[in-house]
Amino acid sequence: MNATFFKHRLIFKQPSGTSRGVLIHKDTWLIELEDNGLKGVGECGMFKGLSIDHRDDFELKLKWACQNIHLGLEALLGQLIAFPSIQFGLEMAFTSLNQKSPFELFPSEFTRGQGSIPINGLIWMGESSFMKKQIKVKLKAGFSCIKLKIGALHFDKELALLKSIRDEFSAQTIEIRVDANGAFNPIEALEKLKRLSDFNIHSIEQPIKQGQLQEMAQLCLDTPLPIALDEELIGVFNVTNKQFLLQTIKPQYIILKPTLLGGFRGSQDWIDVAKSNNIGYWVTSALESNVGLNAISQWTYTLKNSLPQGLGTGGLFTNNVQSPLLVNSGRLFYDLKTKWNLKF
């Protein structure tokens, strides 16, 4: 078996704002396996500033993994605990190799074009007029659930934006999720959640920064609206620690990003622990190319989770690969009429 990798810089069509700053581009790494004429493709979408494996030796470790591909997936995963995005890239590549199809990793009604996945429409941070314009586009496109990034504007401006949405659309018409990316101070967080709850918000992701377990636990206990953990899950590797985290904080939901959590296996561990503690979940992407997004979408469909998921078609980038992923009326489909083109 032979393994190689290459780096690709994804370019945003327009600068995309988060509470961590404005994103202009996003680097990703593709692994290609070849064995007896069969090929497998995986993506290591390490997210700088967010991934636990954002380290100086990331590419050296990826090079090591490719040079030692003969060890097999299980051995490699065991030695790459601290590099969840490389784990995911390898798991993805081996799965596609074993399926004898680089892009159909989890055959199902979804990959046969007969099933779809409900998704939320993502609204990026910006001035109110820019965010309102995005919202109108999503509503016109048939989305019934939208997710707003908050925490960058003045809080009163964000509340005014939410009020303007609710003045026009009821909670029965549009479900609103908000994502603070840890932007709130623990001292003020509960009061902000109370003000947000006036607008029938479905949930808020990561209201305060990760690592403040007791503060987050108290917030989840007192909150007037459901809290979903996101960044909080990053860097928690074994099942015992996952159980401790969820049993300590007791969130209403968790958000699963396979690239940041060690792939499908790492994410499934979180699902199992969440279910045993009556905690809900959904899956979301982390700005992967369509290679990674395709794998995440196919796996997500097999979970049969009825909640809207945080997926899309990679349409944020100017230089993504062509894929069959298609959004129609707020649902993600696999369009068999569109062929893959693994040329960036």
Dihedral pair phi/psi, residue 29, rounded to 5°: -130, 130
Residue with tokens 């990826």: 62
CA proximity to 165, closest of 205, 118, 198: 198
Under DSSP, the state recorded for 105 is S
CA proximity to 104, closest of 313, 294, 270: 294
C-alpha dihedral, 233 to 239 to 241 to 247, nearest 10°: 80
Catalytic residue among 138, 147, 149, 192: 149
CA proximity to 219, closest of 247, 187, 254: 187
CA proximity to 250, closest of 206, 280, 215, 220: 220
Q: Give catalytic status of residue 149 as yes or no.
A: yes
Which residues are bridge partners to 176 per DSSP?
146, 201
CA proximity to 185, closest of 163, 212, 204: 212
d(CA 13, CA 26): 12
d(CA 145, CA 173): 9
Residue 82 Cα distances to 48, 88, 132, angstroms: 15, 12, 40
3-state secondary structure of 12: strand
Q: Give catalytic status of residue 209 as yes or no.
A: no
3-state secondary structure of 42: strand
Under DSSP, the state recorded for 231 is G
Q: Which two tokens stand for residue 325?
A: 């992923």
First-to-last alpha carbon distance for the chain, in angstroms, is 25
Q: Which two tokens stand for residue 22?
A: 């404005």
Q: Which residues are catalytic?
A: 149, 257
